[in-house]
Structure 1
């Protein structure tokens, strides 16, 4: 079962300079329009091709638009990758963006 992390938890890890792989599985245009600090863009198709060969960090956090595709991608990494802990960001990029919009 893939763990789901709240956007606030992911934000704290980024701000705390924790070492982990942060993977954005949205399409390229969405990534270019905005992404989490330090996120690497890897489409689901690219992930399927490289998951077993890649050297993953001990911890991996995956996100997508609303947190559904990222759960599937995280399961893929959990099963075929060498990461110790894999999680999906609950609510995806939309949930990440909403606290910033509330602060305006």
Structure 2
């Protein structure tokens, strides 16, 4: 079973001393329209080929527009080497349920990855 956090719990973690790595698995276009501050964009379709962007993180929270793809992302990430020791959770309800601030724009690091 995939562990899910409420948006309020995610906001509390982000405001804490040791925030998790937030991985937004939305498409690049969706991510550019709005995402959690500080999150990285690794579209679900590219997640397996970009595991290096999340490997070594101690805690990962996956996010997507409605909370469905992020559950799939948790299952995928849990199955791969480099993330086996991480605590991996999904934000329930996705960005539709998020009341906090959003950033707009693209993930520059993701663009650099695509050019390699």
- Secondary structure at the aligned position of 1:51 is classed as helix
Q: Where does the alignment leave 5 or more consecutive residues of structure 2 unmatched?
A: 102-116
Gaps of 5+ in 1: none
Report SS of the residue matched to 2:98: helix
Corresponding residue for 1:48? 48
Q: Distance in 1 between matches of 2:15 and 2:54?
A: 25
Q: How does 1:60-75 map to 2 (within 5 A)?
A: 60-75=60-75
Deviations 1:27-67, CA, capped at 9 Å, x for gaps: 11111111101100001122121337852311100011111
Q: How many residues align?
A: 99
Query: 1:27 — aligned with what?
Result: 27
Runs of 4+ in 1 over 3 A off after TM superposition: none
CA–CA separation in structure 1 for the residues paired with 2:15 and 2:52: 29
Quote the RMSD (CA, aligned, Å).
Answer: 2.0
Q: Which structure carries more helix by proportion?
A: 1
Residue matched to 2:8: 8
What residue number does 1:93 align with? Answer: 95
Q: Is the 8 A contact 2:42 2:50 kept in 1?
A: no
